[in-house]
Structure 1
């Protein structure tokens, strides 16, 4: 039964290219070593033969006299020896080449074994090739680094999927519970039920939109345009100013023109998330948020700083993880879906930017985004 292939020779199930079997690399190297050794030996024998023919071939006869041997007799005497030498070189080249090729390709066999282990799903497998640094050692180390990053990425994606499933399940479970209560008690206040369902549904919609935005930023499917961060910061501050006033937060915006290149929509979302996060996670009363833009070392810089409780560096290092809300320092009813800073981090990485989170000595957080001009 033949193997089903596509027009370009790929297996329809895995997409791998189906190739015909050929000589192994070890056998090719062995034949190359033996061929090179025989070529070198043949050239050496030819050179010796030419030299002896030019010098003459002296031979002692039965009476003890010395006479010059003609070329035919020379060939009869020298050719068997040369043939024996060539046979020896052939056998020696094949055996020695096979052993040397095996030793040279041993690291490659180890790398191939590791690749098969990874393709079978064992991302924790590592080559850890011993010995001094050479081409194979560099290849193995690069492969191990790639596996480490891939394992970390897959672990992060699995954790993210589990958290997202939990976050999406929560509003659905609440909605089901509210509907079950309303079904069991037909005389229940429907207005209160509708209000709670509206709140739960709005939270589910916000979470879904945040997940879609996070996916879009990860794909980097956007066109770069010229953007002035100072205008984006002013727009975000103006939009969120009512929220800041509602919770007694002073919102201050300052800075110079900060031109950069990127997606206007994503950079606007990044700034909105930072300012919103700074307002929501603040002091219970009389807090402050500072939004500044500028240019530093040929880079556009956006800084969002707020007052708040004392934060440890360990906590700050986890704030950009998905669904990590830190401490709820303001009970605003708008705690968010736990993706605000995760979206900021993703948008930053999509624009090849730098994101720095630093706890303020007086309390609160300072977030700095550095973009190429």
Structure 2
């Protein structure tokens, strides 16, 4: 939700503390002033009393002004410190919320101290995180187990269909071909679910990789498909070192490139894949020509089994998990993925990953 910028709660509390202290000080000075006024007439009756009265009034005024300035400074500094100490638990809860938003459900606040409103809020948040983590882990185990169980019967069916297709009598050849196609898609879906589960669980070894080399490798793999469909691929960019799984990052890039080729113009389409380096991140960008897409539609494309537009051709149709796998792999590498529609049609996908440490040996520019 986009909100207009405003004052922080800490600043508001600081101003409230300082304002309350100023009001209390002003009331105290007013009481003292009334007390002084009661005795000033007595002073004026003695010889030289008028001068004494003027001196007392000037001295009291100066002292009151200095006291108010001291109270203001003390109220602001003390209020800022007190507000910071009071709001420290909220900062920990905020950080935990942001980690959970990025997919890290294993983090806990564990706020120390006796029970109060902040502790109860933190304990309730920790309980919610524990329940969510257990639920997500259960779902992931189910998907992984179901996919593993499906692999064997699908492989057996595939073997039987291959034998049937090689039968020289060609009996029911059309039916066998259709069954072979359906079974192949089921195998692809099973492998995609296994890959998705593997990325979600972050069950992979990390190594130093270069996104520019991965982009070139993915381009070489899918170049025949692009030529078949009349799509031109342009690859450019800088060396983009990061730390992660080479296999998963290659799968991420391949999925993006395959998606860009599959959802393109019928003739003379284009795909651009670039890499760049930011101060703390490396960026992989894949964009393509294609149909006009609305921001509302683009926001749903990374959901599982979601397809943005009808495909121009039915070959290599995919299983509807391409961008979902991209998002999962990106999250597993502590990165971000952004999908935006191109003004002239098509889609731009930007993957931003943490850059490898600058002192890592083996990288050169």
TM over 0.5: yes
Which of these residues, 313, 316, 326, is aligned with residue 334 of structure 1?
316
Which residue matches 2:280?
A: 298
Aligned length: 226
SS in 2 for 1:347: helix
Which residue matches 1:118?
A: none
Aligned counterparts, 1:100-115, within 5 A: none
1:136 and 2:120 aligned = yes
Which residue matches 1:227?
A: 209
The answer on whether the counterparts of 2:311 and 2:317 sit within 8 Å (CA) in structure 1 is no
Which residue matches 2:236?
A: 254
> How much does 1:143 deviate?
4.2
> In structure 2, how many angstroms separate the alpha carbons of the residues matched to 1:140 and 1:322?
31
Which residue matches 1:97?
A: none
SS in 2 for 1:325: coil
The answer on whether the counterparts of 1:309 and 1:329 sit within 8 Å (CA) in structure 2 is no
The answer on whether the counterparts of 1:284 and 1:329 sit within 8 Å (CA) in structure 2 is no
SS in 2 for 1:288: strand
Which of these residues, 271, 289, 299, is aligned with residue 253 of structure 2?
271
SS in 1 for 2:286: strand
* Alpha-carbon displacement from aligned partner over 1:30-53 (angstroms, at most 9, x marks no partner): xxxxxxxxxxxxxxxxxxxxxxxx
> In structure 2, how many angstroms separate the alpha carbons of the residues matched to 1:196 and 1:134?
62
> In structure 1, how many angstroms separate the alpha carbons of the residues matched to 2:298 and 2:281?
24
**CA 1:290/1:318 → structure 2, altered by over 3 Å: closer, same or farther?**
same
Which residue matches 1:3?
A: none
> How much does 1:153 deviate?
5.2
Which stretch has the larger CA shift, 329-338 or 343-352? 329-338
> In structure 1, how many angstroms separate the alpha carbons of the residues matched to 2:243 and 2:294?
33
> In structure 2, how many angstroms separate the alpha carbons of the residues matched to 1:157 and 1:223?
19
Which residue matches 2:42?
A: none
**CA 1:152/1:319 → structure 2, altered by over 3 Å: closer, same or farther?**
farther
Which residue matches 1:204?
A: 186
SS in 2 for 1:320: coil
> In structure 2, how many angstroms separate the alpha carbons of the residues matched to 1:336 and 1:242?
17
> How much does 1:265 deviate?
0.5
The answer on whether the counterparts of 1:308 and 1:329 sit within 8 Å (CA) in structure 2 is no
Unaligned regions of 5+ residues in structure 1, if any? 1-131
Computing the radius of gyration from Cα coordinates, the structure with the larger value is: 1
The answer on whether the counterparts of 1:280 and 1:332 sit within 8 Å (CA) in structure 2 is no
Please report the TM-score for the alignment, with normalisation by the length of structure 2: 0.55
The answer on whether the counterparts of 2:140 and 2:197 sit within 8 Å (CA) in structure 1 is no
1:369 and 2:346 aligned = no
**CA 1:146/1:294 → structure 2, altered by over 3 Å: closer, same or farther?**
same
> In structure 2, how many angstroms separate the alpha carbons of the residues matched to 1:205 and 1:289?
28
Aligned counterparts, 1:146-185, within 5 A: none
> In structure 2, how many angstroms separate the alpha carbons of the residues matched to 1:219 and 1:188?
45
**CA 1:215/1:285 → structure 2, altered by over 3 Å: closer, same or farther?**
same
Unaligned regions of 5+ residues in structure 2, if any? 1-115, 356-365
Which residue matches 1:125?
A: none
> How much does 1:264 deviate?
0.5
Which of these residues, 322, 346, 354, is aligned with residue 328 of structure 2?
346
* Alpha-carbon displacement from aligned partner over 1:254-280 (angstroms, at most 9, x marks no partner): 001000000000001000000000000
